[in-house]
Structure 1
Amino acid sequence: MRRRKKIANYKYQQFLSHSNHQAFDTITEPGQVTPHSGIYRCEGCGENVVSTHSHPLPPQNHHQHTPAQGRIRWRLIAATH
């Protein structure tokens, strides 16, 4: 079984809030316009990036995957306002 990377650490929990918003369930393709500012995680390898609303997400050639990891796909894991 593959070990999954975790998101960045934090110290002060009072600055974070839980959300069940559907934006966290959406998979966004490389190079598409960022729908929500925040931290995005690659579904294939667990790499994290920060992207700003209306700017493009990193492209398919942003980093390399093994064949088992498939193509790069981005999921919002921490949104900013």
Structure 2
Amino acid sequence: MATLTHTKGRVVTVPDEAVDYYLTKGWTVAGGNPVPAAAPEEGPSESWTNAELDAYAEQEGIDFTGVKTKADRLAVIADSRN
């Protein structure tokens, strides 16, 4: 079992075989060094910050070149899913 902390402050204990999955989603081992920012698990929405959308795009290989607004970011992400 491992105790993990999310960038939003949530703490969970998960089985060892689930740790790698959580680390790819923005969690860190409690007391460890931060993993690069990742987007929340529920999927992109208006409630996400631009930084979270940028992290999601990077993780998913979505190109945000020339994108300036949150609405533009969400549109590019939606287009990439089609």
Shorter-chain TM-score bucket reads under 0.3
- TM (norm. structure 2) is 0.25
- TM (norm. structure 1) is 0.25
Larger radius of gyration between Structure 1 and Structure 2: 2
Q: Which has the higher helix share?
A: 2
Q: Which has the higher contact order (CA 8 A, sep 6+)?
A: 1
Q: Which has the higher strand share?
A: 1
